[in-house]
Amino acid sequence: MHDRGTATHDLLSRCSFPPAETPVTCAFSGGADSTALVALAAAAGCVVMAVHVDHGLRASSSGEAAAAAAIANRLAVEFRCVTVDIDDGPNLEARARDARRAVLPAGHLTGHTADDRAETLLINLMRGTGGDGLTALGPHPTRPILALRRSETRQLCADLGIVPVTDPSNLDPRFVRNRVRSDVLPLLDDIAGRDVAELLVRTADVVGADLALLDRLVDATGVDPTDARALAAADPALARRVLRRWLTGTGYPPDRAAVDRVYEVAIGAVKACELTGGIRVERSSGRLSIRHRPGLASSDGVDDV
């Protein structure tokens, strides 16, 4: 086994862990990425609690939990396993993610890497995203190893003499992310003759910087998102940004189509619109308002008045 300091020193310089002695909870599947997260957090001097969430979806899940516990013991960190009940079926990835978030504490660390970020950008592009979708899964205190590549987390495990847990669901072609990882990105690499993930991450950084500037302009102008006249008079890009932030603040994560529809209400093209989730945006006396109407949700969010 290689010396841990040698194996982790260069990687740690590209990570963003909190100061030594800070207690952290790490989402820990036992896979290469989360194992690297735990190992690097410990090397950074953090007080680590590795939490493994057993979704109970496979007969082998208890064995995976035991393997994760053994890795945590090898890394000399505390370990806890939490079992949740999830049935197989539609939206499995999203439901599993929601179940993990429900049992993990706020601010827990995740082992997302630059490769995850590139995959997310491509997935969002296929869904017709706007600029915010291109910056999804960006730098955040809860993602301290985001600058690392998946190949580096695997190499770190090898350097530490650890065989990570293999999650069979990561090979399941039902999941879009798995197809992007196994089929789309390798094809793009072949066509481009280079590492496309690196280029995608660079694009996300550029777009993120532009959106940050736009947000500062929004703050400086002080446009009231409920003032239809002010929105109609503002530059359309700025007005849409104001509306997006307003809708996001109400708990509704809008896509570009939803923002466009609310903008139509603001400029007087229509009096109101329905959005998915039972949300209705109305204009009255020059003001916009949001009404939550749970029984009204449409399947496509495209009803105008």
CA distance 207 to 132: 8
Output the CA angle 93-97-77, nearest 5 degrees: 125
pLDDT tens digit string along 3-34?
Answer: 556 668 899 999 999 999 999 999 999 999 99
- Position 304 scores a pLDDT of 42
pLDDT at 77 over 60: yes
What are the residues whose beta carbons fall under 8 Å from the beta carbon of 276, sequence distance 6 or more?
A: 258, 297, 298, 299, 300, 301
Domains of the chain (ranges; CATH) run 4-109+144-171 (3.40.50.620), 113-139+176-221 (no CATH), 222-296 (1.20.59.20)
Pairing of strands 272-275, 78-83: unpaired
Q: What is the mean pLDDT of residues 172-186?
A: 93
CA distance 36 to 115: 14
Q: Convert 158-193 into a string of H (helix), E (strand) and C (coil).
A: HHCCCCCCCCHHHHCCCCHHHHHHHHHHHHHHHHHC
pLDDT tens digit string along 208-267?
Answer: 999 999 999 999 999 999 999 999 999 999 999 999 999 987 776 788 889 999 999 999
CA distance 246 to 189: 39
Q: Mean of the per-residue pLDDT values for the chain?
A: 88
Q: What is the mean pLDDT of residues 44-52?
A: 97
- Position 305 scores a pLDDT of 43
Q: Mean pLDDT check: name the lowest of 3-7, 54-58, 173-177.
A: 3-7
Phi, psi of 227, rounded to the nearest 5 degrees: -90, 100
Q: How confident is the model at residue 303 (pLDDT cuts 50, 70, 90)?
A: very low
pTM, 2 dp: 0.82
- From 273, 279, 274, select the one nearest 292 (Cα to Cα): 279
Residue with tokens 């827990």: 108
- Position 1 scores a pLDDT of 43
